[in-house]
Amino acid sequence: MPTLADPDAYDIDDHPSSSSDDGLNLDDEPESGLAGGREARTPRFPGEDRTPTTERELKGWYFAGLAAEVYAVCGVGSFAPVTLEQLAREAGVLRSDGVTPCIVPKGSTPAARYIVRSLFSRADESNQCVVYPFGHMVSSSSFALYTFSAAVFVQALVLISFSPVADYGTYRKRLLLTFAFTGAIATMAMLLIFPSIYYIGSLLTIIAVVCLGSVFVLLNSFLPLLASNHPTVTAKSRSLPSHPGPSTSTSPALTLSTSISSRGVGLGYIAAVSVQILCILLLITLKRAHFLSESTPLRILLLLVGICWATMTLPAVLYLRNRPGPVLSIPHSRLPPFLQYLTFAWSSVYTTLLTALRLRQTILFLIAWFLLSDAIATVSGTAILFARTELHLSTIQVALLSITATVSGIAGAFAWPRISRAYALETKSTILACILLMEIIPLYGLLGFLPPIRALGFLGLQQPWEIYPLGVVHGFVMGGLSSYCRAFYGEIIPPGSEAAFYALYAITDKGSSAVGPAIVGVIVDRVGSIRPAFGFLAVLILLPLPIVWRIDVKRGREEAVALSKLRAPVDVSVRLDEMNGSAAEGLLGGRREGA
């Protein structure tokens, strides 16, 4: 989660003052490639759209990002897993006999409701709620975990396969809007999912999560173009030497893209928390309606989230320019264009992986990041389901937990840089501190197994209120891990191949997030409770600790620089870095789990 940058640094939201160098009004659409009498920069490929970036276009980009952020926080982070679990519970039966429904309809007799309540009051693994999708028995909790595990796996495959489309051809804006509206429609369609067809809800969730990840990748592909065509950047670029040094870390385009991305993060979280509060108010109102099914209010909330996703994307339809990329041309290839894109995407990943295997420190970090990102995603999903099914938090309380973690994450994004400076912590030391803090969450859950703690009736996640301090810890840690891991990785990759290696970083993130939830789902199915999964989480969080500790940053940097001098940059970096001026992959997507 990047920290929020000063929004006035480049006058992104406000008109430039009269004393500005360019004297531009960014609300006015430039004509004939000119801005305020200044020529647009030199084209970097035939047919490039060099129209200077306007405030209106930036607003379109911001709205598309905050619309997706609403689903990331309110959907994936709150109501989607709870809704899937509730639908499965309403369709499920008790494991003990395979006949007794887990939830008796509200119209049933008091005697029937008393019997089911009695069974669940002394529930064990034989009386857990189970369903039989495709003939296999799974608990209602693990059904939601398996769904998100499948979603992030499919998402990783889709992101690899279509990534070149984000940088080549004329499909950039069209794909962005297609994925956004498809995800929004899939989310709204959850209203039509009744307990009898609960498994269709799983399919819709997978579609929405895949669309969410694709939207963020496409937004990332717009970011360097918006920055490099911004009037402030083109003006500064003309004043730079004709042959700048090899370092681009302080280039105007990279600085501005970071500022734009950071503002997008802040606006996204503000929008997500606002919609979350609106959902809580709506849920309080819906509770008075006394629906026969408890999943009905949840499905109405997802309808609202989907509507917000769709309507907030509309400014992107109106304001965002297409910004086409160069035509992808593979010499001597007779494949159809679609297959050319597909083979190019997978071959690019393969080439980058072969390069990374020659860098020991980089590979060590990618292994650690694989484990760490899996732990992050699994802790988040497991905590929500544990709060819902074993601590019996209401939907409103789960939403408040999500808000707590989000606000804590924003605070952590501000606090960790200050903590690092105050204690003179290196980036690696800060990451290690974050890992150790996150270990508190599963260890605290395991305290509930100790007989003296159980006798107290509180501590060890025995009372609902105990989950909220852990939500603060989780959010605070995430505020540091996302940005510091990205910065740490950036120090040990070859100069000139940043985008290719950040693509590998993102693929590692998405691919790993499918493993942990699936393992937790198996544990829940075998044991009948989520609490034993805290043991697995405790081990999973600690696994990357010694790997990160062993990484030698100085040696890794030297190896990366030496390799970059021996070979040309990887193809993917050429298309992103040299044409767009910065490695923007993941500036938005790297801060959330599973999406």
Tell me the pLDDT band of 333, cut-offs 50, 70 and 90. low
Give the DSSP H or E segment for 138: strand 138-139
86, pLDDT greater than 60 = yes
**Confidence (pLDDT) at 240:** 53
Least confident of 254-258, 357-361, 569-573: 569-573
Tell me the pLDDT band of 182, cut-offs 50, 70 and 90. very high
Pick among 3.10.20.340, 2.60.40.790, 3.90.870.10, 1.20.1250.20: CATH of 344-585: 1.20.1250.20
571, pLDDT greater than 80 = no
Tell me the pLDDT band of 42, cut-offs 50, 70 and 90. low
**Confidence (pLDDT) at 377:** 84
- Report pLDDT digits (tens) over 574-586: 333 333 333 333 3
**Confidence (pLDDT) at 23:** 34
Name the token pair of 92: 């499920």
Tell me the pLDDT band of 486, cut-offs 50, 70 and 90. confident
Q: Say if residues 175 and 203 touch (Cβ distance below 8 Å).
A: no
Tell me the pLDDT band of 18, cut-offs 50, 70 and 90. very low
**Confidence (pLDDT) at 43:** 63
- Report pLDDT digits (tens) over 394-435: 888 888 998 898 888 888 878 888 888 888 888 889 999 999
Tell me the pLDDT band of 266, cut-offs 50, 70 and 90. confident
Place of tokens 């997802």: 302
**Confidence (pLDDT) at 167:** 66
DSSP-assigned letters across all residues of 506-564: HHHHHHHTTHHHHHHHHHHHHHS-STTHHHHHHHHHHTHHHHHHH--HHHHHHHHHHHH
Q: Within the chain, what is the greatest distance between any pair of CA atoms? A: 85
60, pLDDT greater than 70 = yes
Mean pLDDT of 199-203: 95
Mean pLDDT of 174-190: 95
Tell me the pLDDT band of 177, cut-offs 50, 70 and 90. very high
501, pLDDT greater than 50 = yes
144, pLDDT greater than 70 = yes
Nearest to 227 by CA among 215, 239, 236: 236
Mean pLDDT of 40-56: 70
Name the token pair of 267: 């606006």
**Confidence (pLDDT) at 251:** 61
Mean pLDDT of 513-518: 86
Please report, as a single letter, which amino acid is at residue 581: G
Mean pLDDT of 376-382: 87
Which parts of 288-389 fold into alpha helices (H)? 295-319, 337-356, 360-389
Q: Report the alpha-carbon distance of residue 402 to residue 179 in Å, rounded.
A: 25
Q: Say if residues 263 and 223 touch (Cβ distance below 8 Å).
A: no
Mean pLDDT of 155-171: 75
Tell me the pLDDT band of 437, cut-offs 50, 70 and 90. very high
Which range in 12-26, 51-65, 431-445 is most confidently predicted, on average pLDDT? 431-445
85, pLDDT greater than 60 = yes
133 compared with 49, residue with greater pLDDT:
133
166 compared with 140, residue with greater pLDDT:
140
In this prediction the pTM is 0.76
Tell me the pLDDT band of 496, cut-offs 50, 70 and 90. low
125, pLDDT greater than 60 = no
Spatial CB neighbours of 200, under 8 Å, sequence gap ≥ 6? 193
**Confidence (pLDDT) at 217:** 79
276, pLDDT greater than 70 = yes
Q: Say if residues 497 and 570 touch (Cβ distance below 8 Å).
A: yes
**Confidence (pLDDT) at 230:** 76
Q: Report the alpha-carbon distance of residue 182 to residue 522 in Å, rounded.
A: 31
Q: Say if residues 346 and 161 touch (Cβ distance below 8 Å).
A: yes
570, pLDDT greater than 70 = no
**Confidence (pLDDT) at 6:** 34
Radius of gyration of the CA atoms of the chain, in A: 25
**Confidence (pLDDT) at 183:** 97
Percent of the chain at pLDDT > 90 equals: 28
Least confident of 35-39, 53-57, 100-104: 35-39
169 φ/ψ sector (left φ>0, alpha ψ -120 to 50, else beta): left
Tell me the pLDDT band of 146, cut-offs 50, 70 and 90. very high
255 compared with 124, residue with greater pLDDT:
255
Which residues in the chain are classed under CATH 1.20.1250.20? 344-585
Which range in 232-246, 347-361, 452-466 is most confidently predicted, on average pLDDT? 452-466
Which range in 326-330, 404-408, 471-475, 489-493 is most confidently predicted, on average pLDDT? 471-475
**Confidence (pLDDT) at 44:** 61
For residue 88, give Cα distances in angstroms to 85, 105, 109, 120, 557.
Answer: 5, 14, 22, 16, 50
Least confident of 119-123, 466-470, 494-498: 119-123
Q: Report the alpha-carbon distance of residue 131 to residue 31 in Å, rounded.
A: 61
Beta partners for residue 94, in sequence order? 129
Q: Say if residues 484 and 123 touch (Cβ distance below 8 Å).
A: no
**Confidence (pLDDT) at 436:** 95
- Report pLDDT digits (tens) over 278-313: 999 998 898 888 787 888 999 999 999 999 999 999
151 compared with 223, residue with greater pLDDT:
151
Nearest to 227 by CA among 261, 198, 194: 261
245, pLDDT greater than 60 = no
12, pLDDT greater than 50 = no
* Average of per-residue pLDDT values in the chain: 78
Spatial CB neighbours of 159, under 8 Å, sequence gap ≥ 6? 213, 214, 217, 506, 507, 510
Least confident of 34-38, 125-129, 354-358, 533-537: 34-38
Least confident of 330-344, 372-386, 420-434: 330-344
17 compared with 110, residue with greater pLDDT:
110
